[in-house]
Amino acid sequence: MKRFLSGDEAFAEGIRLACPDVISAYPITPQTVVVERLSEMVEDGSLDSEFIHVESEHSALSCAIGASAAGVRTFTATSSQGLLYMAEGLPYAAGGRFPVVMMNANRATALPWNIYGDQRDSLALLDTGWIQEYAADAQEALDMAVMSYYIAEHRDVSTPFMVNLDGFVLTHTYENVDIPDRERVREFLPPYETENCFDFEHPKNIGFSAGPETNFIFKYKEHRAFERAIHVIKEAERRFGELFGRKYTGLAEEYLTEDADYVIITLGTAAGLCRTIADELRREGVKAGVLRIRYMRPFPNEEIARALKNAKAAAVLEKDISFGNAGTVYVNVAAALQWAGVSTPLYDFVGGLGGKDITHADIRNIYESMGKGAPRVTFMGIGVE
């Protein structure tokens, strides 16, 4: 069934299909619509979930962790300041291996106060042990609401999952979206089963401490789960493609990279405009390509190295800066090239902070200026070099 939905509404439809047992969330712009739709679905009986009204984001995630420890499927959603307020709980959920799914609407972080989209909220929390996916359109948002549970709850993974939607550009933009059949989603997504939960018959100690002798081993096991997740992501996409006819491309999505001389690497919705301009440049005889990172964790190291190996130059376009260094996406991409011994010069373009539009001219400028001069960080469109 096709419906005309915003990114937020599409995500809520995906959650209705995944049918979490417990939803605990606190509204925050630009995520609010997700929470509103889900509460309406619970109210009208079309979603059989326990909707817990909480007083803060810290409580929202804490409730989801507690419910997950009771052995049920859980969902929360937030954005920006709310995500930062959840920060304490993020490694807690990850270390406890509770497969909570969260939708995060990417939004600028204060100060100055700003409700518009950039990716500094989730990228600041990249090291907390959550899988991070960045959707590029409303259909992907809906599909990831379903697929995220398959991946997060898989026995080889057991890791919480954050699906990121660009604030406003994706959360509030309407598109034609295909809503999968509920029975087929049931076929795709098995009920959540785990032994990592309370059990009256077999008392357990859950969420314990671990001293210096063993703590390190738990951390290594978390890391290993991300390596396993790469295979589970592929398996989920293969099964999803068979059942619903939509293909996803794993950790990264490539566009004309095979023979590209100049490649832009980016996250989320900005990739759409980059593809349009790559087409335009191709008509002018410039071999341009785009690599969209879908997963920041686990990170597409191999895909990036392969796509950039024969390029003359590449540039990261990101809505992030790690003050005192480059942007976080740049640093990760540069490491991917280093692992593989690829020496393609890599430039960093910071754009779209606080919701500033990334324009057609901005992206043409990235393609035209990459490869010229020493690699550096460029803040786009603010009148400084």
Partner 1 sequence: MKPYLREKKSFAFEDIPEDTCFEAGYLVTVNSGWRSRTPQIDNEKCIGCGQCYLYCPDGVIAMDGKTPVIDYDFCKGCGICAKICPKSAIELR
CA separation for the pair 120, 318 (Å, rounded): 9
List binders of partner 1 among 210-239 (CB under 8 A): 210-211, 213-214, 217-218, 221, 225
Q: Which is nearer to partner 1, 98 or 149 (CB)?
A: 98
Residue of 83, 92, 94 whose CA lies nearest to 118: 83
Q: Indicate the burial class of 223 (C-beta count within 10 angstroms; 0-12, 13-18, 19 or more).
A: exposed
- Burial profile 361-370: b = 16 or more Cβ within 10 angstroms, e = fewer: ebbeebbeeb
Applying CB under 8 A, the span of 190-198, 232-240, 256-264, 298-306 interacting with partner 1 comes to 190-198
Nearer to partner 1, 197 or 340 (CB): 197
Q: Which stretch binds partner 1 (CB under 8 A): 29-37, 174-182, 198-206, 308-316?
A: 198-206
- Of 227 and 258, nearer to partner 1 (C-beta) is 227
Question: What is the token pair recorded at 293?
Answer: 């990172």
Q: Report the residue number, 49 or 68, with the smaller CB distance to partner 1.
A: 68
Taking the complex as a whole, how short is the minimal distance between the CB of residue 97 and partner 1, in angstroms?
Answer: 4
Element holding 65 (H helix, E strand): helix 57-69
Considering the complex, what minimum distance in angstroms separates the CB of residue 49 from partner 1?
24
Task: Find out whether 163 and 145 touch, Cβ atoms under 8 Å.
Answer: yes
Phi and psi at residue 10, to the nearest 5°: -65, -40
| Nearest residue (CB) to partner 1, 95 versus 268 | 95
Site string for partner 1, 146-185 (x = CB under 8 A): ------------x---------------------------
* Three-class SS of 66-129: HHHHCCCCEEEEEEHHHHHHCCCHHHHHHHCCCCCEEEEEECCCCCCCCCCCCCHHHHCCHHHC
Identity of the amino acid at 210:
A
The two three-digit tokens of residue 339, written as one number: 């692992």
207 binding partner 1? (CB under 8 A): yes
Q: At its nearest, how many Å lie between partner 1 and the CB of residue 205?
A: 5
| DSSP secondary structure letters along 253-269 | EEES-TT-SEEEEEETT
Taking CB under 8 A as the binding criterion, the range among 29-37, 167-175, 202-210, 320-328 that sits at the site for partner 1 is: 202-210
d(CA 130, CA 152): 9
Which member of 96, 129, 289, 355 binds partner 1 (CB under 8 A)? Answer: 96
Q: Applying CB under 8 A, which part among 47-55, 90-98, 120-128, 357-365 lies near partner 1?
A: 90-98
Count the site residues for partner 1 by CB under 8 A.
22
Candidates 55-63, 91-99, 258-266, 333-341: pick the segment binding partner 1 (CB under 8 A).
91-99
Q: Which of 205, 247, 285, 383 binds partner 1 (CB under 8 A)?
A: 205
The nearer residue to partner 1, 86 or 93, going by C-beta atoms, is 93
Which amino acid, one-letter code, is at 302?
E
The residues binding partner 1 (CB under 8 A) are 95-97, 158, 195-197, 202-208, 210-211, 213-214, 217-218, 221, 225
